[in-house]
Chains A and B, each alone.
Chain A
């Protein structure tokens, strides 16, 4: 009942008609919804938000049978596929906004609009190659050598190095900030800085050179050292810089991260409930 035969071209035309019919339907909704008063609009948004959440929340909370499923479980797959489609359209919204902004810069001849032309040309060229490549992979279009070379030049030799270099700039900023901005100005800053330095030395091979090559501390912990932890050899083992760094990370840092996790989790749950029930005033 939910499936119609699409093997033949008439089947494909049929599907296209159905899609166009829904398109017309949703266009028709626009004046109807526009007539809604602001309170009605907010109610409609709140309703859609609530039901979108209800599908997943109910499926999680309802009891399950032996196979670990309840009557809502079959709805998960179509729901997740809908989220993939809407998610893809939402991602493309960012690109839509960016291109719209730069096209307006060109049309209104705003200052520096020359750079917007560069951006639009790059967008169209890369868009052409990227869509062609994806469809060629799916077998909808032919894979040609021109496509191969063009995409590799634009992607591997321009987009990848540009992004990698952009991210690597931060190393320079950290270095100059380390010299000029990172001050031991309070107890807190000194605790943080001392821990950071111990970790920075311990997790890289610098710590190995100092504690194992120069100081010659034991590298391995033998069973005998485990038996009496306060023996000189075991204390020596644990005083090696890599061991100190690992102890800071595993014994001191882990509980702090767990406390932050609990804070983030509880704040996230409160936020999820507020958003699900559309209680948030600022944005809805």
Chain B
């Protein structure tokens, strides 16, 4: 078979790859200029996304959590949940719009009630792990029977840095009293430490975005043009 017979969209699998490539270049066309080609595929994208969500969101979730218990297992008590949920769809009407807030209120209230466990389970273990950072080499915390004190020094130094950074940034985020004198200096240094944390986030965010672009270019090279780039 000539190479072009494999390349051009002649069988179902190649039609799929070409469709994917056309979509890719349509979206990249906005890099040159906003154009009708881009706008067509953008609306296509939003329509496909909305249409797709009907499957898992409406069909699977409601099938599993409402249709099954009712029509397959007979727990009639589930009957009122969807009728009550339908109030959500009054959100756009002038007169009855407020009723949608009954259902939204249920969601907000439930998530608020659940948050207490999240606060305890997420913040307190972090608080506790902060406390187990000893700031001095003592026998209670370190095995110094063999007189080797030097090897614990890096750990203790890191503990000092940890506590100083933590308290400085926490001080920076306080607002109900004037920052004057020593507190102002601690808060200013706290903002500089904050910049180190933001720098780490910056470096990682750049890496994330690059990987997404590389993923697309990898698809174009290996799946479309068939160039062996490795990684299957």
Contacts of A192 in B (CB 8 A): 195-196, 198-199, 202
Question: Is A210 interfacial (CB-CB < 8 Å)?
Answer: no
Closest Cβ of chain A to B207, distance in Å, is: 7
Query: Across the interface, do B52 and A88 meet the contact criterion of CB distance under 8 Å?
Result: no
Question: Is B136 interfacial (CB-CB < 8 Å)?
Answer: no
A165-B17 contact in complex given A19-B83, A227-B148, A272-B112, C-beta closer than 8 Å: no
Of the 9-residue stretches B54-62, B137-145, B176-184, which lies at the interface with chain A?
B54-62
Query: Across the interface, do B57 and A5 meet the contact criterion of CB distance under 8 Å?
Result: no
**Bound complex: CA of A54 vs CA of B109, how far in Å?**
8
A79-B40 contact in complex given A126-B52, A174-B206, A191-B195, C-beta closer than 8 Å: no
Query: Whose C-beta in chain B lies nearest to the C-beta of A253?
Result: B200
Contacts of A84 in B (CB 8 A): 61, 64-65
Question: Is A71 interfacial (CB-CB < 8 Å)?
Answer: no
Closest Cβ of chain A to B105, distance in Å, is: 4
Query: Across the interface, do B123 and A262 meet the contact criterion of CB distance under 8 Å?
Result: yes
What is the predominant secondary structure among interface residues of chain B facing chain A? Answer: helix
Interface residue tally on A, bucketed by range = 35 or more
Query: Across the interface, do B48 and A159 meet the contact criterion of CB distance under 8 Å?
Result: yes
Contacts of B54 in A (CB 8 A): 92, 95, 126-127, 130-131
Give residues of chain B (52-105) contacting chain A, Cβ–Cβ below 8 Å.
52-66, 69-89, 91-92, 95-96, 98-99, 101-105
Question: Is B231 interfacial (CB-CB < 8 Å)?
Answer: no
Query: Whose C-beta in chain B lies nearest to the C-beta of A283?
Result: B101
Closest Cβ of chain B to A252, distance in Å, is: 5
Contacts of B153 in A (CB 8 A): 229-230
Query: Across the interface, do B213 and A172 meet the contact criterion of CB distance under 8 Å?
Result: yes
**Bound complex: CA of A23 vs CA of B79, how far in Å?**
9
Closest Cβ of chain B to A184, distance in Å, is: 12
**Bound complex: CA of A226 vs CA of B101, how far in Å?**
61
30 contacts between A and B (CB under 8 A): A6-B71, A12-B71, A25-B83, A26-B87, A41-B98, A44-B102, A48-B105, A49-B109, A56-B113, A57-B112, A60-B116, A85-B85, A88-B61, A90-B107, A99-B50, A118-B40, A122-B51, A123-B47, A130-B59, A135-B59, A157-B17, A157-B19, A161-B20, A171-B209, A178-B206, A187-B192, A189-B195, A199-B200, A253-B200, A256-B194
Q: Which residues of B contact A (CB under 8 A)?
A: 12, 15-17, 19-21, 23-24, 27-28, 30-31, 39-41, 43-66, 69-89, 91-92, 95-96, 98-99, 101-120, 122-123, 126-127, 130, 148, 150-151, 153-154, 158, 161-163, 165-166, 169-170, 173, 191-207, 209-210, 212-213, 215-216, 219
Q: Lowest 3 A-B CB distances belong to which pairs?
A: A195-B199, A122-B47, A256-B197
